[in-house]
Amino acid sequence: MAKIAILSDTTMTIPQEFADKHNIYTIPLYVIFDGQPYKDVEEITYEQFFARLNTGEMATTSQAAPGDFVEKYEMLKAKGYDEIIVTVMSSKMSGTYQSATAAIEFVDGIKITVVDTESTTIFGGIAVMEMAAALQQGKTSEEAIALLHQLIRERYVDARITVDSLTYLQRGGRLSRVSATVGELLQIKPILTIIDGELKVIEKMRTFKKAVQMIAQEALKENPKQVFIIHTGDEKLIKQLRQAVELTLPGVPCEEFFLSPTVGAHIGPTGIGLVWLKNYEK
């Protein structure tokens, strides 16, 4: 049986304990403050990143370069792996997929497959974890990759997120300046999700409280077996959503995860969301 490693970019937010048990390694993207790049999660923590955003600093982001991937591929080959499955955030959100693919031609002696997850955050992380579990249960790499795509495309994994300010989405190019200005004036709170690999506004609420309640109600419709709160460290927002989840989905396991700095740079310091996993046939 082939020895398979998974290499996932840091936007996927995979718990380290799970990663250690399932041969999952990470490659960081970059966040940049005042021209100084930092490796996502590795050189700047979640807490440090969002603390700087809260002081008014603005961050930009950069994809991992082909050379970064070559280094990781060679490292995994040296560890004795026969195959690498590379799982990266949506190619419609980042050029990381192109970097990962371009790096393959510089590495010999190991099979490398790059997978566009068409997602990001724990939204994609859940699918990657389910894929990793399938590999450990004896599925082939092709079968496991097909499962990941099934979970995303058929929306067995789904998500909703809202933000208290539209400024960061507009500056990051995710929302037009006009839409952002009008939204701020009207105090609109957008409900966002990922569809076909792109972040899209699917609903607009007038208050943050109503947006949070709607997110929990959307999860309830799907009868999830597990939910995940994704956040930017704002304890007040986390408490609001957790209370809504406990009221709406009593007994459903709920964990909390930071958004990665790379994603947080586009969401801003006041983002909160819910990701859920539905039952599916393995």
pLDDT at 186: 47
Confidence of residue 8 (pLDDT cuts 50, 70, 90): very high
- Res. 209 pLDDT band, cuts 50 70 90: confident
All structural domains of the chain? 4-29+64-153 (3.40.50.10170), 157-277 (3.30.1180.10)
pLDDT band at residue 172 using 50, 70 and 90 as cut-offs: low
Ramachandran class of 33: left when φ > 0, alpha when ψ lies in -120 to 50, beta otherwise: beta
pTM: 0.91
Q: What does the pLDDT look like over 184-207, one tens digit per residue?
A: 434 678 888 999 998 888 888 888
pLDDT value at residue 187 = 65
User: What is the average pLDDT value for the chain, to the nearest integer?
Assistant: 90
Lowest mean pLDDT among 24-38, 93-107, 119-133, 207-221: 207-221
Query: Is the distance from CB of 121 to CB of 12 less than 8 angstroms?
Result: yes
pLDDT in tens, 12-39: 999 999 999 999 999 999 999 999 999 9
